[in-house]
Copies of this chain bind each other. A is one copy, B any other.
């Protein structure tokens, strides 16, 4: 049944495509002056197993603290998440924490579920009081709008500076049954997740025990959202939440083995797909960049090099300018903290080798410039020191990033 672990197929859909999930969104008026939908609700008709991963920033937004509390109190039995955009509810002190708790409590009440089975997430400006009353007024209508087609509205209401929704749905047929995995994410700036990302919500109708769900999420996030950077800023609100409600009617995954590996595989695919969508939609981005560092002594050395390159504004502006400026790439490798040997490094740009053993080699500048003018950029390094590798995704750094962020709050 699970012979081939790559049987997950991407299908059109939304976060409500797995069985047993409904969603909705509404304009609550959280950000002054905006007319967009800014409050969203996801609800599993059955109690689901849940797992979450959150920001490693020491400044932790109120909704993240409420999520941690509720996941602990409910022992991972969750049923809903309510999300607002337009306000991060971070650095809002005790009133902000109470506002997040109150939001969860009132959603629980209208849904008729326990308070601790409701999670909350927020994204937007840091340090502004959350307008709780506007949320309270909107909760009942938001519940009234819940439907199986509500995933699209949900994916739009959670956006901030994003230019488009980010959704991925995978399906796997198992004889006459099928399992579905879906994910939706938001994020375009303040992106440098370590352990989590801006906001991502994942649903599945698989049945799986809570410890295995947590393990699968951690592995998937390490390979996906944690390989992503837009600007090196780790947010206060990063949250990835995963719901597994068992509504597919497929046997519960309660131990490691083929079924678990299959699930892990699909989850990593969804997360990777969402992480790449975030990089593609990075603030002001015109190009998606994949950095692969091979031939390292250890995976963590490879990651240090890939991370330094992916965070270098000089590399990212060179790519914006379609400039085969490999000197900036080797320079970033040099200050990454990894024990590289510059005289061994090979560098390729979009498949064209431009540097061999630390020195420039003859290459077709014009053709390389053409390749670097495209929307998909590959930077490949071989450190020629070992067999380990790592990969990171990022985007180029353009004047658009500056325009967006010099004007975002006001």
Binding site for B on A (CB under 8 A): 56-60, 88, 90-93, 125-129, 189-190, 192, 231-236, 311-314, 317-318, 320-321, 323, 325-328, 330-335, 338-343, 355, 357-360, 369, 397-399, 401-403, 405-410
Contacts and interface: CB of A to CB of B under 8 A. Distances in A.
A51 to B, nearest CB: 23
Given A91-B355, A399-B402, A314 B231 contact: yes
Nearest to A319: B406
A401 B399 CA distance: 9
Report which residue of A192, A233, A328, A331 has the largest number of chain B beta carbons within 10 angstroms of its beta carbon.
A331
A369 B358 CA distance: 48
A121 B245 CA distance: 65
A104 to B, nearest CB: 21
Contacts of A357: 93
A244 B328 CA distance: 34
Nearest to A398: B402
23 contacts: A57-B335, A59-B331, A90-B327, A91-B330, A91-B358, A93-B343, A93-B358, A93-B359, A126-B325, A126-B328, A126-B331, A127-B355, A127-B359, A128-B360, A231-B314, A233-B328, A236-B327, A313-B313, A314-B405, A317-B401, A317-B402, A325-B409, A401-B402
Nearest to A403: B399
A311 B312 CA distance: 11
A375 to B, nearest CB: 16
A177 to B, nearest CB: 43
A58 B335 contact: yes
Given A231-B314, A233-B335, A313-B232, A327 B91 contact: yes
A363 to B, nearest CB: 12
A163 to B, nearest CB: 18
Given A328-B126, A355-B91, A342 B59 contact: yes
Nearest to A336: B58
Nearest to A320: B406
A331 B236 contact: yes
A326 B327 CA distance: 35
A233 B308 CA distance: 9
B330 A59 contact: yes
Given A93-B343, A355-B127, A233 B320 contact: no
Q: Which 9 residue pairs across A and B have the least CB separation, nearest first? A: A126-B327, A321-B406, A59-B334, A317-B405, A57-B334, A127-B327, A234-B335, A399-B399, A59-B342
A93 B341 CA distance: 12
A357 B334 CA distance: 39
B236 A313 contact: no
Contact of A334 (B58, B93, B360, B408): B58
Nearest to A93: B359
A91 B345 CA distance: 10
Given A59-B330, A190-B331, 11 more contacts: A58-B340, A59-B340, A88-B327, A91-B330, A91-B342, A91-B358, A93-B359, A233-B331, A317-B406, A318-B406, A318-B409
Contacts of A60: 334, 342
A162 B91 CA distance: 39
Contacts of A343: 93
A58 B405 CA distance: 33
Nearest to A317: B405
A57 B339 CA distance: 10
A93 B360 CA distance: 9
A343 B95 CA distance: 13
Contacts of A59: 330-331, 333-335, 340, 342, 358
A358 B16 CA distance: 38
Contacts of A405: 313-314, 317-318, 321
B93 A314 contact: no
Nearest to A343: B93
Given A91-B327, A232-B313, A331-B236, A342 B399 contact: no
